[in-house]
Amino acid sequence: MLSITAAPAAEIAYHAHAAHHDETAFQYWLQAGDNALDSFVVADALDYYEKAHRISASITIGNPDLVRLFEQRIKALELARNYADALKVSREMLTIANKRNSATMECAATLAQAVLFIAEQT
């Protein structure tokens, strides 16, 4: 199995997705997004998170990973000052939280909306 220490996460994700190992690809796209965001390469982070998001519809993902994906996408969009899209993502997160009956995800989505409201005002 490939390791994140052996190759960049985005490269592993690309190859995992090409080989139809979508659960692995999801994890590595998410890690690639986190790595890019940690380095303030917001455009790359958004690209990687979008790839993880697209895969998420076709695989089973636990609530913690899904919350992490949504929170990180929102954070990246906020850093890009794209509040409208960040709000759309937070609304999508809230919809999924309600479908999954996840209080944790619902709370995270509601908090993100409050933060975005404040950020838009400044």
User: Would residue 1 count as lying in a domain?
Assistant: no
Q: How confident is the model at residue 7 (pLDDT cuts 50, 70, 90)?
A: low
Within-domain flag for 105: yes
Confidence at residue 119, expressed as pLDDT on a 0 to 100 scale: 86
Average pLDDT over residues 34-48: 94
Alpha carbons 45 and 82: distance in angstroms, whole number? 14
pLDDT band at 1 (very low <50, low <70, confident <90, very high): very low
Q: Write out pLDDT tens, residues 55-82.
A: 999 999 999 999 999 999 999 999 999 9
Which domain covers residue 47, as residue numbers?
A: 8-61
- 120 or 86: which leads in pLDDT: 86
**One domain, residues 34 and 55:** yes
How does DSSP assign 28-78, residue by residue? HHHHHHHHHHHTT-HHHHHHHHHHHHHHHTTS---HHHHHHHHHHHHHHHH
Supply the pLDDT for residue 89. Answer: 97
